[in-house]
Structure 1
Amino acid sequence: MQEAKWSAQRSIGQREAHQCSERDFRAVFGELDASALITADELAALLCVSRQSLDFRLRVGKIPRPVVREKRCVRWRAGDVRAWLDGMQQVE
């Protein structure tokens, strides 16, 4: 089952092998499959916050809970993150 899952990190690596242009994770995130797993560092980059800020937000319940949480391995499903972002209110 673990082999069926793939991370965004591997997806980014595959895209970089085929593309020479530098792109940040926010651009790559839009192209990810909903079942792709993203790391805490990738989620922090997507939200434009530090890893420490992301960890704090997770502790206080400001971001969705990860689907994988084992020792140092923390992952979120791209589709869950998209749904959470879509549900946020627009600031004007």
Structure 2
Amino acid sequence: MASDFSSSCGMEGRRLLTVEDLARYLGLSANAVRVRLHRGQIPLPVIKHNRRTWFDIRDVDAWVDSLPRVPAPDREA
């Protein structure tokens, strides 16, 4: 998952994501990511450096992989 996203967004080879990068990765707005982080709905460890918050893409992928899977709804044409 990470390699497809990172190469399409020009982030190939990068392991750390900013809040904005994480938002693009998850298909959310940066504000929605901040709100969900604050509420504990995105339980990821963070790296704080120079007033920036970073996320390890391996932690993100592990979290996404741990989310429950539900079958797609049947679509009748």
Q: Which TM class, normalised by the smaller chain length?
A: 0.5 to 0.7
CA distance in structure 2 between the partners assigned to 1:65 and 1:81 by the alignment: 7
C-alpha contact (below 8 Å) 2:17/2:55 kept by paired residues = yes
TM-score normalized by the length of structure 1: 0.58
TM-score normalized by the length of structure 2: 0.68
Detail structure 1 runs of 4+ shifted over 6 Å in the superposition: none
Aligned residues: 66
RMSD: 2.6
Sequence identity percentage = 32
C-alpha contact (below 8 Å) 1:68/1:75 kept by paired residues = yes
1:62 corresponds to 2:62: no
Deviation of 1:90 after TM superposition, in Å, equals 1.6
C-alpha contact (below 8 Å) 1:67/1:76 kept by paired residues = yes
Counterpart pick for 1:76 among 55, 62, 74: 55
Equivalent residue letter for 2:67: M
1:1-92 equivalences in 2 (<5 Å):
23-24=8-9, 32=13, 36-70=15-49, 72-92=51-71
